[in-house]
Amino acid sequence: MIAVSGESSNGSADDMQALYPFLYSSTSDVDAVMSQVEQSTVDKVHEIMALRQKVAEEDGDKLVACSAAMAERFARGGRLFAFGNGGSSTDAQDMAAQFMSPPVGLRPLPAFALTGDVAVVTALSNDVGFDVVFSRQLAAFGKSKDIAVGLSTSGNSANLIACFNEASRRGILTVGIAGSTGGKMAELENIDYLFVVPSSSVHRIQEAQTTVYHALCELTALSLADGYQTNRPEPTTCAGGSGMRGEQP
């Protein structure tokens, strides 16, 4: 399986062979190949477990502080806007869905993915430029009490940098989730909370980033849970994550 990150990569055939050695095996022994597949899977499981543990140890306190800051914005009527490219676009939509449709007993929170409206995304890309596809939307919808969350495996996406700059100008709380060394996102002074997954593998980065934003969702919801009770049924489908329906700015 090849990762779909939506961002440039310097991967080579050697990198692919290191990830999936059984695909390059010269043997026709099916049992031997299946044994390699099994070992490759086990190795990757151990790798992501160790990476998630490393992120928890290094950024645990920051996750708590960030979720408290997010809870404060939601308590003031703020909304969350998530954005990213490629696979990170899907993660942005998933993050919005987690806030909009939390487990029973927790408060649904207004969250939207800036990647969800195809008409807006393609219009801005075609008429203005892809670098402003997120920042223009945030300029139209964002208020100072809102939250902007950008996800990137490399940290170098120009349209994320532009959106963080726009968010900062508007006093919006900014949260970045990046990989490797953080890229250009790590150089910005206007990201309030930056979480960097220290790995060179796009696969492991995205898996660990999922854990980061799920933790943020849960911690934020729990911060707002006091006094909130609901008997609504367990949702059968994910809500939210697309479009800009709901509260108008």
3-state secondary structure the chain: CCCCCCCCCCCCHHHHHHHCHHHHCCCCCHHHHHHHHHHHHHHHHHHHHHHHHHHHHHHHHHHHHHHHHHHHHHHCCCCEEEEECCHHHHHHHHHHHHHHCCCCCCCCCCEEECCCCHHHHHHHHHHCCHHHCCHHHHHHHCCCCCEEEEECCCCCCHHHHHHHHHHHHCCCEEEEEEECCCHHHHHCCCCCEEEEECCCCHHHHHHHHHHHHHHHHHHHHHHCCCCCCCCCCCCCCCCCCCCCCCCCC
pLDDT of residue 219: 93
One-letter identity of residue 110: P
pLDDT of residue 247: 40
pLDDT of residue 49: 87
Q: Which residues contact 184 (CB under 8 A, 6 or more apart)?
A: 155, 156, 161
Q: Which residues contact 28 (CB under 8 A, 6 or more apart)?
A: none
Closest CA to 155 of 125, 172, 131, 179: 179
State both tokens at 189: 């002074």
- Mean pLDDT of the region 51-80: 94
- Mean pLDDT of the region 221-233: 61
Q: Residues 124-157: pLDDT tens digits?
A: 999 999 999 999 999 999 999 999 999 999 999 9
Question: pLDDT above 70 covers what percent of the chain?
Answer: 79
Indicate whether 243 pLDDT > 60. no
Which has more confidence, 73 or 232? Answer: 73
pTM: 0.77
Q: Residues 181-196: pLDDT tens digits?
A: 999 999 999 999 999 9
Place of tokens 């990046």: 178
Beta strands 80-84 and 111-113: pairing type? Answer: parallel
Q: Residues 7-55: pLDDT tens digits?
A: 554 556 666 666 666 666 666 677 777 777 777 777 788 778 888 888 8
Class for domain 30-223, per CATH?
alpha beta
